[in-house]
Amino acid sequence: MTSLYLTEADELQIKMAQGAKPGEGGQLPGHKVDEWIGKVRHSTPGVGLISPPPHHDIYSIEDLAQLIFDLKNANRSARINVKLVSKAGVGTIAAGVAKAKADVILISGHDGGTGASPMSSIRHAGLPWELGLAETHQTLVKNKLRSRVTVQADGQMKTGRDIAIAALLGAEEWGVATAALVVEGCILMRKCHLNTCPVGVATQDPELRKRFNGDPEHVVNFFKFLTEELREIMADLGFRTIEEMVGQAEFLEVKEDNLANNFKLKGLDLSPILYREPADSSVGLYKQEEQDHGLAGVLDWKLLAAAQPALEAKTPVVAEFPVINTDRTIGAILSNEITKKYRGEGLPDGTIHFKFKGTAGQSFGAFNTCGVTLELEGGANDYFGKGLSGARLVVYPDKTATFTPEENSIIGNVAFYGATGGEAFIRGVAGERFCVRNSGVTVVVEGIGDHGCEYMTGGRAVILGGTGRNFGAGMSGGIAYVWDVAGDFAQNCNPEMIDLDPLGDEDADELRSLVQQHLELTGSSVAKFVLSDFESEVGRFVKVFPRDYKKALAGKAAKVAAE
């Protein structure tokens, strides 16, 4: 996600899971990822896209809360939506998500969406949305959290009746996808993954796309009928607004005959779904108040004030701020404001140069855009440079520190997760999951933990030190140069998708200039050592070259040669 994408959004959804394919989500197989899609998604054309990925930045509810905070910083006007799969216990999760300050919670049922699911996902599909929704609403009401969040439900809602039931069970918003798609001409071919959709709905093939004959009027008509039916049901039940209707589960009745006459349904007890959590009038049953996202006192307001000349007239600004570890997501609001005015281009390089001293909190520099340089003397926590979007981050230890920087951690785990552009120079060692899903950042670091460069699709990583195990798993683009002093790097790699090559001349030039920059910006003694005898040290570097990327580059070169 770039700062521009985030700034443009009305709503940002964190897809923890979709009902039809929990843990994996929509898949776009490699042969459907053409140049254009590759560009939009910041990935390598020809390499499959799986969304959502396993969220490597989310291992606990606190991590989720941090991401919600990051996104809220990156776009204050967007609602933050968290999508959860309908399953037993989803109510507890939803309560946690509400406390983590999500604005919207989406309960996704097992139905629908299965056309693009791989078999492995379908086998682990969730439960019907009715079950998860009822549980979620009841739990939120019981914990007096319901009035803070909007609850949505989806998973093959097709009729006004579906929507009415969803409203009575506690959802004030609903997702309709498959039905609308069918109205546009989808004929459930289940060939979405083959790029051969004969009605031109789910294909990138220009010939097949010509065969699409859907009409927006049909979709409008469909929704008109859908809402008309809902309105009729509401009139029958005596509701004037959806707000009145949300969570009034006692208006639902069980068709006892259906249960009694079907051998599968016999003995089914639906009362837990239809249970209405007792709540007095002080407890809201639908979204009535805004979450307190805690943005009022963040450091970024000071940054923003200092950056006014830059924002207004691109005048370079330099300033210094002390930081402590409760200063989280530094620079995101600033970047949001820059992006609003200067779009994806941002400001000219070096326009804003802020220096920080101390220990920064989580997500230092998250979603920071072009023209911003953040220099940090001290250290930083997790998610350093998350979603970095064009800015330059420089970090080195406190000048008075006595430890050896290249032997000590200076930033936390999951640095540069999903970063799309910019550069960073780190005088010290980073934690685990370094540069996961990086698609464009150029970064120099002096050692990393496990799972480095996993699912990386672009950018450069120079590692002047050791790595943990499982390096380069699922890496499909970009290049990593690793200074393999101990000679054990190959053992730490996941060789499934990468080749370990020696450096060519061009690589060596690129490496030298990056190390040179690292030396200049951080005063790194490691960089100094490497440069002191670069001709011989370059032989100890390993080039991690993803095979998919190699193939894509070769294809591009062949194309240029042909022209």
Partner 1 sequence: MGKPTGFLENTRQLPAKEAVENRLQHYGEFVQQYSAADLNKQASRCMDCGIPFCHNGCPLGNIIPEFNDAVYRGKFDEAYEILASTNNFPEFTGRICPAPCESACVLGINQPPVAIEEIERHIVEIAFERGYVQAKQHIVRTGKKVAVVGSGPAGLAAAAQLNSAGHSVTVFERDDAPGGLLRYGIPDFKLEKSVVDRRIRLMEEEGIVFRCNAEVGKNVPVGDLLREFHAIVLAGGSTIPRDLTVPGRELDGVHFAMDFLKQQNKRVGGKSTLINPYQPLSTDIVATGKHVVVIGGGDTGSDCVGTSNRQGAASVTQLELMPTPPMERTPNMPWPTYPMVYKTTTSHEEGCERQFAILTKAFLGDENGKLRALQVVDIQWTGAKDGRPASFAEVPGSEREIPCELALLAMGFLYPQKEGMLDQLGVETTGVGNVRASERTYQTTISKVFAAGDMRRGQSLVVWAISEGRECARKVDEYLMGSSLLETKDAALQFTI
Q: In the bound complex, what is the minimum distance in angstroms from residue 561's beta carbon to partner 1?
A: 28
Q: Rounded distance, CA 74 to CA 339, Å?
A: 10
Instruction: Give 189's contacts (C-beta < 8 A, 6+ positions apart).
Output: 197, 198, 199, 202
Binding string, 47-66, against partner 1, x = CB under 8 A?
--------------------
* Placement of tokens 């090559």 in the chain: 501
What does the CA dihedral 295, 300, 304, 306 come to, rounded to 10 degrees?
140
Query: Which of 207/280 has CB closer to partner 1?
Result: 207
Cβ-contact 373, 351 below 8 angstroms: no
Tokens of 190: 């289940």
Contact pick of 1, 37, 208, 500 for partner 1 (by CB under 8 A): 208
Shortest distance, position 199 Cβ to partner 1, whole Å: 6
**Residue 208 or 273 having the CB closest to partner 1:** 208
Q: Which is nearer to partner 1, 264 or 399 (CB)?
A: 264
Nearer to partner 1, 50 or 208 (CB): 208
CB 206 to partner 1: min, Å: 12
* Closer residue to partner 1, CB minimum distance, 203 or 369: 203
Tokens of 210: 């010509």
Q: Please say which residue, 116 or 237, places its beta carbon nearer to partner 1.
A: 116
Size of the site for partner 1 (CB under 8 A): 15
| Both tokens assigned to 43 | 């990935």
Contacts of range 436-443, beta carbons closer than 8 Å, 24 or more positions apart: 436/56, 436/57, 437/53, 437/56, 438/478, 439/42, 439/43, 439/477, 439/478, 440/42, 440/478, 441/385, 441/388, 441/416, 442/514, 443/385, 443/416
Output DSSP code: residue 348: P
Smaller CB separation from partner 1, 208 or 270: 208
Cα–Cα distances in Å, from 288 out to 12, 134, 283, 284, 291? 20, 19, 10, 7, 10
CB nearer partner 1, residue 187 or residue 260:
187
CB of 181 to partner 1, least distance (A): 13
Shortest distance, CB of residue 32 to partner 1, whole angstroms?
12
Tell me how far, at minimum, the Cβ of 213 lies from partner 1, in Å.
7
**Which is closer to partner 1, CB of 29 or CB of 468?**
29
Contacts of 288 (CB under 8 A, 6+ apart): 147
**Which x/- pattern over 65-104 shows residues binding partner 1 (rule: CB under 8 A)?**
----------------------------------------
Interface of this chain with partner 1, residues 101 to 140, rule: CB under 8 A = 115
At 512, is the secondary structure helix, strand, or coil?
helix
Q: If binding is defined by CB under 8 A, does position 194 make contact with partner 1?
A: yes
Q: Quote the CA–CA distance of 542 and 527 in Å, as a whole number.
A: 16
Interaction pattern, residues 158-187, with partner 1; x per rule: CB under 8 A? -----------------------------x
The residue range among 42-50, 144-152, 193-201, 400-408 that interacts with partner 1, by the rule CB under 8 A, is: 193-201
d(CA 483, CA 508): 12
Binding segment for partner 1 (CB under 8 A), chosen from 204-212, 395-403, 452-460, 510-518, is: 204-212
Name which position in 77, 92, 120, 196 contacts partner 1 (CB under 8 A): 196
Single out the residue of 37, 199, 304, 497 in contact with partner 1 (rule: CB under 8 A).
199
CB of 187 to partner 1, least distance (A): 6
**To the nearest whole angstrom, how small is the minimum distance from the Cβ of residue 319 to partner 1?**
59
3-state secondary structure of 303: helix
Which of 76, 124, 211, 357 is the binder for partner 1 (CB under 8 A)? 211
Choices 206-214, 414-422, 504-512, 520-528; region in contact with partner 1 by CB under 8 A:
206-214
Nearer to partner 1, 213 or 491 (CB): 213
Measured CA distances, 48 to 34, 53, 78, 83, 524 (Å): 10, 12, 29, 23, 38
The pair of three-digit structure tokens given for residue 428, joined into one six-digit string: 């010290």
Measured from the CB atom, the residue of 225 and 275 that comes closer to partner 1 is 225
* Gap between the Cα atoms of 429 and 447, Å rounded: 5
Q: How far is CA 161 from CA 71, 180, 222, 234, 236, in A?
A: 35, 16, 14, 10, 12
**Options 63-71, 191-199, 251-259, 412-420: segment touching partner 1 (CB under 8 A):** 191-199
CA distance 373 to 392: 5
Please, which residue, 194 or 265, has the CB nearer to partner 1?
A: 194
* Binding map of partner 1 across residues 215-234, x = CB under 8 A, - = no contact: --------------------
DSSP secondary structure letters along 49-114:
EESSPP-TT-SSHHHHHHHHHHHHHH-TTSEEEEEEE--TTHHHHHHHHHHTT-SEEEEE-SSS-G
Q: Is 272 helix (H, G, I), strand (E, B) or coil?
A: helix
How many other CB atoms are there within 10 angstroms of residue 281's CB atom?
A: 6
Single out the segment in contact with partner 1 by CB under 8 A; choices: 188-196, 327-335, 362-370, 406-414: 188-196
DSSP state of 406: G
Nearest residue to 105 (alpha-carbon basis) of 114, 92, 117: 92
d(CA 40, CA 30): 15
- For residue 393, the cross-strand partners are 374, 424
Give 31 or 99: the residue with its C-beta nearer to partner 1.
31
| Residues 12-31: x where in contact with partner 1 by CB under 8 A, - otherwise, as a string | --------------------
Q: Where are the alpha helices (DSSP H) in 307-456?
A: 308-313, 332-342
Among 158, 191, 293, 551, binds partner 1 (CB under 8 A): 191
Q: Of 10, 60, 119, 213, which lies in the binding site for partner 1, with binding defined by CB under 8 A? A: 213
Q: For binding to partner 1 (CB under 8 A), which residues are involved?
A: 115, 187-191, 194, 196, 198-199, 205, 207-208, 211, 213
